[in-house]
Structure 1
Amino acid sequence: MSDPQFRSLINLRQLEVLRAVMRYRTTIGAAEELGMSQPAVSNAIKLTESKLGIALFDRVSNRLVPTADAQLLMADAEPLFLVHEAVQRKAWDLRTGRAGVLRIHTTSELSQYLIPPVLALFMADHPDVQVTIEAMRMEPLLEGVESGSADLGIAMKPPVRPSLTREVLVEAEMMCISPKGDVLAGLPVLTPFDLRGRRVVGPPPVSPLGAMIAQAFERSSHHYHPDIEARFANIVSPLVARGLGIGFVDEMTAHQSTEPAFDVHRFRPRIAIPVCGLFVRDKPRARLAQAFITHALQYMQSRIARSDDKEDTA
């Protein structure tokens, strides 16, 4: 096996030529399949026969009939072609982004209400990709993207990091939700004034989204002090559905069900929540990560309905 002459008796290309000639029984047919000239195919067969020291074909009435030795050789070679074809398919999949690994870091509520529908769209185009999704708080999410543990991050209003670039997928709104049958159910828009004396469920004021709500309350000369603090919107919504108060959630969470157990209201003053894809700055984006972000952008821009009363800042 270590003899160089033994290793160089025949290579994969010569086996491809041999296989094609055996299939078509002519050098012309083999040449058309392989994209070679007819003389090149003839020379390849002659060279292989010379190296092996055996005849591979008998010439019968202008046809090339494989010898028993050629048939034995190809019987052992056929598994090589199956492996080669599989490698070729995998290489093509990698080139076109249909295979590989995609690692996503996101927040809890987005992992529940955004990632699944976008992933369904993504997997329809990339069925063989292995996907890893981690739901976490903002700080470890950012650190994961920075370190390369994740190919991309998806978060609502992520803080600015010099090492990261943010791509805004959509600008959502902060919404209010109330239990079914609540006295506020008929109001399409709620303000801090409407929430006076009501139990409020929402993110803590020290959190990024909670701080935005607190600023909106201050603009209306009110104070935001949630009675039940819940950092993630997917925790707020079931609490409100249980009748535990009026909740603050993002627009995606508010509209995640066609028949929710709560009523949805716009909140004024308007609070814009940018939903962003996060990548490492000055580093080429992974092809699969960009494909996922493209699907997320298309999904969110079609999903988030813009109101007709943006001028309303009451």
Structure 2
Amino acid sequence: MLNLRQLEVLRAVMRLRTTVGAAAEIGMSQPAVSNAIKNMEQQLGFPLFHRLNNRLVPTEEATSLYLDSEPLFLMFQGIRQKAGDLRASRSGRLRVTATSELSDSLVPRLFARLAPRHPQVALSIETRSMTEMLDALEAGITHLGLVMEPDPRPGIDARPLLQLEMVCACPADSPLAALPFVTPQDLQASPLIAAPAGTRIQALVAEAFRRAAQPFAPAIETRFMNVGLRLVEQGLGASIADPLTAAAADPRRIAIRPFRPGVPVTLYAVLALREALPEAYSLEA
């Protein structure tokens, strides 16, 4: 059976793909990390990595171990944060996890409201993908998640906060910028930057194209809408984004136009069902 330290080594190598990077992250020497991997492979009786051009490519077995062990590290992170709070004698800590675009646009404004009202409360923000956020909530290492259109999950309470209408973001010098609003037909002449296939956001946008009887064929897919806006800034195409994210774009480089037909998108606060957000930390505060 592998111990926690061995799993920590495996996790670091899985994430960084080199023993040098893993050694720096977990405070070991590079030879010690290499030896730890060899010892694990001998102990388990199967290889964990293929060695290709000085890179370590994980086997299916290594990937399975990594995914199964990740909840342990999430739980450990939560315990470590709690111990730090107790040591600092804080009156409390509010841990917020948000997707990349909301960490850019919404969370700074939220913290600007909360911090002056609760000076004895330690605030922390983690930026994660939606799946990682929901995992962190279930593991108890974050109190509150902020996300657009979360996937349903039995152990998660998703509370709608605000419904918005998606907008079109295009380069400031694009012909689209001169239009009063942008339609799927208008976007046929421009490369489209969209959320990945299988996501709720892409499904909403694709449905708008279907209703307009226009083909939906993204040229570039990106998981986070703020990254999509950076691509728009480089002139790589247009994107359909939520207005919170779009408002954070550079108006000298990006034009924001209404998108028709309307695509409603909802901002949610997500919490673990077993916990309630303390009233003192309410978003209404």
Taking structure 1 as the reference length, the TM-score comes to: 0.59
**1:147-173: CA deviations, max 9, x gaps?**
211111111011222222222111112
Aligned AA (2:156): L
Structure 2 partner of 1:103:
95
Contact 1:99/1:126, CA 8 A, preserved across alignment: no
SS in 2 for 1:133: strand
Structure 1 partner of 2:157:
165
CA distance in 1, matches of 2:194, 2:132: 22
Select 1:196's aligned residue among 165, 184, 188.
Answer: 188
SS in 1 for 2:229: helix
Q: Does 1:177 align with 2:156?
A: no
Structure 1 partner of 2:208:
216
Structure 1 partner of 2:231:
239
Structure 1 residue 128: Cα displacement: 2.4
Do the aligned partners of residues 107 and 197 (structure 1) sit closer, same or farther apart at CA in structure 2, a change above 3 Å counting? same
CA distance in 2, matches of 1:145, 1:275: 17
Do the aligned partners of residues 258 and 106 (structure 1) sit closer, same or farther apart at CA in structure 2, a change above 3 Å counting? same
Q: Does 1:248 align with 2:240?
A: yes
Structure 1 residue 277: Cα displacement: 0.5
Structure 2 partner of 1:63:
none
Select 1:284's aligned residue among 251, 266, 276.
Answer: 276
CA RMSD of aligned residues (A): 1.9
Contact 1:177/1:248, CA 8 A, preserved across alignment: yes
CA distance in 2, matches of 1:188, 1:205: 29
Q: Does 1:269 align with 2:261?
A: yes
CA distance in 2, matches of 1:204, 1:283: 31
Structure 1 residue 287: Cα displacement: 3.6
SS in 2 for 1:239: helix
CA distance in 2, matches of 1:151, 1:260: 37
Aligned AA (2:202): G
Aligned AA (1:175): V
CA distance in 2, matches of 1:151, 1:282: 11
CA distance in 1, matches of 2:171, 2:127: 27
CA distance in 2, matches of 1:232, 1:166: 20
Contact 1:205/1:224, CA 8 A, preserved across alignment: no
Structure 1 partner of 2:141:
149
Structure 1 residue 205: Cα displacement: 2.8
Select 1:130's aligned residue among 122, 127, 147.
Answer: 122
CA distance in 1, matches of 2:275, 2:256: 41
SS in 2 for 1:184: helix
**1:25-77: CA deviations, max 9, x gaps?**
xxxxxxxxxxxxxxxxxxxxxxxxxxxxxxxxxxxxxxxxxxxxxxxxxxxxx
SS in 1 for 2:166: strand
**1:122-149: CA deviations, max 9, x gaps?**
1010122212211111111111112211
SS in 2 for 1:146: helix
CA distance in 2, matches of 1:282, 1:133: 21
CA distance in 2, matches of 1:284, 1:274: 21
- Which 5+ residue runs of structure 1 have no aligned equivalent? 1-93, 296-314
For residues 15-54 of structure 1, what are the structure 2 equivalents within 5 Å?
none
Contact 1:192/1:220, CA 8 A, preserved across alignment: yes
**1:239-266: CA deviations, max 9, x gaps?**
1112111112111011125734211111
Aligned AA (2:140): G
How many pairs were matched up?
197
